[in-house]
Amino acid sequence: MAAPGVLLPLLLLLLVAWPGAAVRDSLLNTCMDAKHHKAEPGPEGQLYGQCSLWKDNACCTANTSLEAHRDQSYLYGFNWDHCGVMPPRCKRHFIQDTCLYECSPNLGPWIDQADTSWRRERILHVPLCREDCEQWWEDCRDAFTCKENWHKGWNWTSGTNRCPRGSLCRRFPAVFPSPAALCERVWSHSYRFTALGRASGRCIRLWWEPAEPNPNAAVARFYARGAAAPARSRLPVPAVLGLLLPAVWGVL
């Protein structure tokens, strides 16, 4: 029989170590609590188009992936062509961005609370790879928009987003003067521009070759290890005590 002087310090050690481990686990392979997300990630063999990268493990359904490719879908009623037709080379980046947001199970380290009617969680400051931001900005140089932050401030009286009264449609570089400005401002700092390249393994990629494994899983693990706050731990300390104390008292 183990002595109390041995078991009690071990129990305290477990309680100290548990929150960090629980946080790391809760940040991995998880879906946001948002409008169209599944409760848990899983295989979706029929994901459509650009969303197919996540077919092996996705937070989106096949129908969500299809709607992500429509110019004005039921997902959010958002119209990419609010300042004339958006060039296809630009639109494909916004579709890819939508696929990442809806489908990725690897955004846990950057999930934050959201106080809106249509979602309880959002992503904040996801570190995007430099090449992804730069290509996005370059391919949208000839597109037009009237707003810097696309999350709010639109005229929705028609049921879809229209430019607010008094705003002017301008080319993207006039609204977003740099790749960092585009990636960080367009969705209320959901993304963070980084100097990190795709080969670094330390930034989230919007796209990779379909034959390659999902590179973002390893990136999420790296950042989850550095998570300090137990905000998303799904098994709180009282529950841990309930599991451990009976075992301890049973051998005292």
Q: What is the pLDDT of residues 178-226, one digit of tens each?
A: 999 999 999 999 999 999 999 999 999 999 999 999 999 999 999 999 8
Residue 159 lies in a domain: yes
Q: Given 3-state DSSP classes, what are the helix, strand and coil percentages for the chain, each rounded to the nearest 5? A: 40, 10, 50
Q: pLDDT: is 81 or 23 the higher one?
A: 81
Residue 138 lies in a domain: yes
Residue 5 lies in a domain: no
Residue 95 lies in a domain: yes
User: 192: burial class by Cβ within 10 Å (0-12, 13-18, 19+)?
Assistant: middle
Residue 64 lies in a domain: yes
Q: pLDDT-based confidence at 238, cuts 50/70/90?
A: very low
How many domains, in total, are found in the chain?
A: 1
Helix ranges restricted to H, 46-202: 62-67, 88-103, 130-139, 172-175, 179-185
Give the three-state DSSP class for 72: coil
Residue 106 lies in a domain: yes
pLDDT of residue 117: 78
Residue 144 lies in a domain: yes
- pTM of structure: 0.81
Domain with 226, as residue range(s), is 33-251
Tens-place pLDDT, residues 97-130: 999 999 999 999 999 998 787 889 999 999 999 9
Residue burial 203-233, b: 16+ Cβ < 10 Å; e: rest: bbbbbeeeeeebbbeebbbebbeebeeeebb
